[in-house]
Amino acid sequence: MNSQFQALGLPASPELTDDQVRAAWRRVAAATHPDRGDGGDPAAFAAAAAAYTLLRTPAGRREALAELSQPTDGIASGHPVLGSKNQLVRYAVSMAWRIRGGRPLRLAARFVGVTAVGVLAVAAVGLQPASYALIVGALTWLAVTGRIDLAPSRPVSRRGSQRRRRL
């Protein structure tokens, strides 16, 4: 969305006025119009026209700025942009992001606790049914209670999905 501002050579600032945007549009349109003697730059002209359509009103500029500030964009927020078709890799990457965005220290403490229970159980009685059971019990506890320390998985909004396709 920053490209909308870039297309008109403007900063992404909430202080922009209608006159500034119109002046920028005039400047870019005069320099890139396809009717120029040198053929202009149709691509830049089209991008500037699309940008001006959005940014010409205060409401449009607010929308564009709000879009910029949103962390739904994978690159801006650190959320992984997934291109792999492999579901396992997809899940692992997503989980890594959720751990990083959640409370990793608490998760680590839980993991250490579960490991300690397993090690102590095996050290105390060896590989017996009771030690197996305790390890399973500790892992169940980790799975049930550890979820709250993960960051919520972000739903892909319709704008987000469009943007990822574009990326």
Partner 1 sequence: MTVAAGMTLLAALPVTLVAVVSFAIAWRRGWQPGRLYRGAAWCLPMIAVWLAAIAITSRSLMLTAESPYLAWLGMWRHGVAGAYLAAAVLIAPAAIPAGLLAGGFAWSLRISSMATRAGGRSPGSAIAFDQRQWRHQVRSATARIAAPGSVPLLTAHGDFVAGAVIRAVGHPARLLTRLPAERLRSHQLVLGGTGTGKTTLLLRLWAAFMAIGLRRHAAGIAGPPLVVVLDCKGGADARRIADRSRRILRESGARNVAVWPDEARLSLWALPPKQLISTLVDLIEHGTGGAAYYTDVMEAVVALAINAPCGPPTSTADFLTRLDPGWLCLAYSAGGLDDQLALARSAGRQVPDVALRFRTLFRRLGPGLDGPGSFADADAWYCILEGTAEVTVAEAQARALVDLLASYIGSAPGSPHDPASRRQVLLAVDEFSAVSRRLPIWQLFERARSLGLAVQVSAQSWHGLARTDDERYRLAATAEGGIWLLRTPHPEPVIALAGQRAVVDSTRQLTGWLRWRRAGTSRVHDTHVADPALIRGLDVGQSAYIYRGGATFTQVKRLVAGPPALTQVPHPAGYEALSDQPDEPTRADVGRPAALPDVSAFLTEAFGPPVSPATRRGGR
Task: Between 17 and 159, name the residue whose CB sits nearer to partner 1.
Answer: 159
Report the nearest approach of partner 1 to the CB of residue 123 (Å): 8
CB of 82 vs partner 1, minimal distance in Å: 20
Identify the three-state secondary structure at position 118: helix
Minimum CB separation of residue 51 from partner 1 in Å reads 7
Asked if 135 and 117 count as a contact pair (C-beta separation under 8 A), the reply is yes
Contact between 166 and 74 under an 8 Å Cβ cutoff? The reply is no
Question: What is residue 13's DSSP assignment?
Answer: -
Region of residue 9 (phi > 0: left; psi between -120 and 50: alpha; otherwise: beta): left
The residue (of 93 and 151) whose beta carbon lies closer to partner 1 is 151
Cβ nearer to partner 1, comparing 41 with 93 = 41
CB of 85 or CB of 166, closer to partner 1: 166
The 10 Å CB-count burial string (b at 16+, else e) for 52-75 is bebbeeeebbeebbebeeeebbbe
**What is the closest distance, in whole angstroms, from the C-beta atom of residue 86 to partner 1 in the complex?**
24
